[in-house]
Amino acid sequence: MADGLKASNRSPGEDWIAIVRKNGSPEFAAAFVERPILRASVLRAPCIGVESIAAFFGTASSMYDTIAFTNETVDDDKTYLEWEGKVFGLDVCGATILTRDAAGLIQSVRLYHSPLQVLARFSTELSRRLSGKIDPLLFGASA
């Protein structure tokens, strides 16, 4: 198991934050394989492809009042990130799991939110904000 955080004194989530901040750019796309997959507790089905994932994170990241990554663990091809913050003035926490291929490109992102009432509200608002940008059937609000 590798623990690059202690060796380099990086902040938890620093690399992931840098990627998300470049969303929609060629640098963002270059961090991913050709057809990456996002699975999230706020989605009914996987979100597939760099453009859809960029739209998702561009919108989702703007919805948080605050967010801070509190822990990062790297184990072979997986990076596990824990985070907490506020959205809609409510406490929220979760985990993000990144899986990379042999070249270091992101193959999949798994994103989990808690508690349930925040997750449901976040999904509904995300669906509204992403209307016309990604498939509305990805959201629980469209069920």
Q: Where are the domains of the chain?
A: 4-129
What's the CA gap between 20 and 37, in Å, rounded?
A: 15
What's the CA gap between 57 and 78, in Å, rounded?
A: 19
Q: What's the farthest any 2 CA atoms get from each other in the chain?
A: 46
Partners of 69 in beta bridges: 83
1-5, 12-16, 52-56, 113-117: segment of lowest average pLDDT: 1-5
The pLDDT of residue 1 is above 60: no
The pLDDT of residue 99 is above 70: yes
Question: For residue 64, with 0-12 CB atoms within 10 Å meaning exposed, 13-18 middle and 19 or more buried, which class applies?
Answer: middle
40 C-beta neighbours (distance < 10 Å), count = 23
Instruction: Give pLDDT, residue 4.
Output: 45
Residue 3 is encoded by which pair of tokens? 């623990």
CATH architecture designation of domain 4-129: Roll (3.10)
The pLDDT of residue 143 is above 90: no
At residue 141 the predicted structure's pLDDT band, cuts being 50, 70 and 90, is: very low
Q: What is the mean pLDDT of residues 70-92?
A: 97
